[in-house]
């Protein structure tokens, strides 16, 4: 393992944001406009100020804006140059920023003193269904274990197009949705607030440079088009979904809110935690085959805190490696028919569940459709999420003396 990097900014050992990470996001200081920054320790680095000072070249002006889209469009060589420049500027032995008090005063903010925004203008959002254990569990509930997976599931990365306008940044309240619900013993549906509100523990990646309409992205070129990953909670109204999803899939059950973490962790930061993708059987069709395809060792947790609880309770632990289909395959499949992706598009993994009961990524699985309620601290139980509940998803990679973290994707449920 390489030696841990050292910055003149204090970074605690358990911080999500050491010098090895430097995730990108969009923040708004008090009484000022939003701009692009990176996180280090408990601080945010204002990239617009560094850009204005000429640290990224004399002609670049892309960080004094409220989205990463222009930066995403530049591509991986530019992303790598920017990250390398920042690691040099923030290094403990580099006086350029360390010893310039006036520039330092303008460049650094405490994370507690800024408001985080969505990191990009998300034009389109796609949600995959790429976790074998999640798909198998849900299919078992509906069709039984013998027919748990649909015939196509191991041949292609199943997905549907989601609603981009209702994607929100972590910390935004989630209003309980209303919709049509058909109780099992009723002859007709009723219109009411959802009684089976759920979370879905997911990860998602932001697209960088897109592709032209009709020109697919090959699976072995996918990394050139993927900027980095965020955490995601794709909130779901299971009772609304049960009634509406046939024949076209979820609609109101999913379009009311999707929460993502504000910091985007780059593929370069994740590189030390790259792992081989598990063998796939049957072998995918040729356009989905890649030599040495990969995944990442990202530990994931979901914590639930009710209004009555003094602290959150961990309800699941899983890992990004539980995905059957890789991000390269997801991107290649998305474009193989000619679909044109654009900078800022968001592609999500679908619920990430593991093989054990403790690693299931949603209430639907954790409580087995409400049959086995969760036992929480203080004696409370939950079949589904209730008003006042806060659900927070966290994720990190464990290095030698440091961690590459994502922060959190958190939301509190409020009444319909």
Q: Which of 47, 82, 116 is the last residue of a domain?
A: 116
To the query of whether residue 134 is one of the catalytic residues in this protein, the response is yes
Q: Answer yes or no: do 215 and 338 share one domain.
A: yes
Q: Which of 226, 221, 223, 233 is nearest to 127 (CA)?
A: 233
Q: Answer yes or no: do 157 and 275 share one domain.
A: yes
Q: For the chain, which ranges sit under pLDDT 50?
A: none
SS3 388: coil
Q: Answer yes or no: do 129 and 112 share one domain.
A: no
Beta strands in 242-360 (DSSP E): 258-260, 265-266, 274-276, 294-296, 299-305, 313-319, 346-348
Token pair of 139, please?
A: 């299919």
Query: Does 11 fall in a domain?
Result: no
Q: Answer yes or no: do 62 and 208 share one domain.
A: no
Q: Answer yes or no: do 254 and 213 share one domain.
A: yes
Query: Does 295 fall in a domain?
Result: yes
Among 55, 133, 134, 333, the one annotated catalytic: 134
Cβ–Cβ < 8 Å for 201, 298: no
Q: Answer yes or no: do 258 and 374 share one domain.
A: yes
Torsion angle, alpha carbons of 404, 36, 334, 138, to 10? 50
Q: Which helix (H) or strand (E) holds 83?
A: helix 76-89
Q: Answer yes or no: do 91 and 166 share one domain.
A: no
Strands 108-110 and 43-46 turn out to be antiparallel
Q: Give the number of domains in the chain.
A: 2
Burial class of 326 by CB neighbour count within 10 A (0 to 12, 13 to 18, 19+): buried
SS3 45: strand
Q: How far apart are CA 80 and CA 78, in angstroms?
A: 5
Range of the domain at 35: 24-116
Q: Which of 88, 116, 144 is the last residue of a domain?
A: 116
Q: Answer yes or no: do 129 and 99 share one domain.
A: no
Whole-model pTM?
0.97
The predicted pLDDT at position 2 comes to: 60
Q: Answer yes or no: do 287 and 164 share one domain.
A: yes
Q: Answer yes or no: do 93 and 144 share one domain.
A: no
The predicted pLDDT at position 283 comes to: 97
Q: Answer yes or no: do 307 and 212 share one domain.
A: yes
Q: Which of 116, 146, 165 is the last residue of a domain?
A: 116
Q: Answer yes or no: do 86 and 204 share one domain.
A: no
CATH number (domain holding residue 39): 2.30.30.230
CB atoms within 10 A of CB 272: 16
């Amino acid at each position: 393992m390489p030696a841990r990097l050292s910055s003149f900014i204090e970074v605690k050992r358990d911080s999500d944001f050491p010098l090895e990470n430097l995730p990108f996001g969009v923040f708004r200081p008090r009484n000022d406009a939003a701009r692009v920054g990176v996180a280090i320790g408990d601080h945010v680095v204002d990239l617009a100020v560094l850009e204005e000072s000429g640290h990224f070249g004399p002609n670049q002006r892309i960080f004094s804006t409220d989205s990463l889209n222009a930066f995403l469009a530049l591509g991986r060589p530019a992303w790598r140059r920017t990250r390398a420049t920042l690691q040099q500027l923030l290094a403990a032995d580099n006086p350029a920023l360390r010893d310039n008090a006036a520039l330092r005063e303008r460049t650094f903010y405490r994370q507690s003193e800024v408001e985080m925004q969505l990191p990009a203008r998300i034009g389109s959002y796609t949600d995959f269904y790429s976790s074998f254990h999640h798909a198998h569990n849900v299919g078992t509930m509906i069709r039984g274990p013998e027919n748990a997976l649909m015939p196509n599931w191991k041949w292609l990365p199943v997905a549907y197009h989601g609603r981009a306008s209702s994607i929100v940044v972590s910390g935004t309240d989630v209003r309980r949705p209303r919709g049509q619900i058909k109780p099992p013993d009723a002859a007709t549906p009723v219109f009411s607030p959802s009684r089976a509100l759920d979370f879905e523990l997911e990860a998602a990646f932001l697209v960088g440079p897109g592709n032209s309409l009709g020109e697919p992205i090959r699976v072995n070129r996918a990394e050139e088009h993927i900027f980095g990953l965020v955490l995601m909670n794709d909130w779901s109204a299971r009772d609304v979904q049960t009634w509406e999803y046939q024949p076209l899939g979820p609609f109101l059950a999913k379009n009311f809110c999707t929460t993502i973490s504000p910091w985007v962790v780059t593929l370069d930061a994740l590189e030390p935690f790259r792992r081989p993708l598990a063998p796939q059987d049957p072998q995918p069709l040729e356009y989905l085959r890649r030599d040495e395809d990969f995944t990442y060792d990202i530990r994931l947790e979901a914590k639930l805190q009710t209004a009555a609880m003094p602290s959150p309770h961990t309800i699941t632990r899983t890992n990004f490696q539980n995905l059957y289909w890789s991000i390269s395959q997801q991107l290649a499949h998305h474009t193989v028919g000619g679909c044109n992706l654009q900078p800022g598009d968001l592609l999500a993994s679908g619920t990430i569940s593991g093989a054990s009961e403790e690693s299931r990524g949603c209430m639907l699985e954790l409580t087995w459709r409400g049959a086995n309620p969760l036992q929480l601290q203080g004696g409370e139980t939950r079949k589904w999420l209730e008003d006042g509940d806060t659900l927070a998803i966290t994720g990190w990679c464990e290095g030698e003396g440091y961690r590459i973290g994502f922060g959190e994707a958190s939301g509190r449920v409020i009444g319909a």
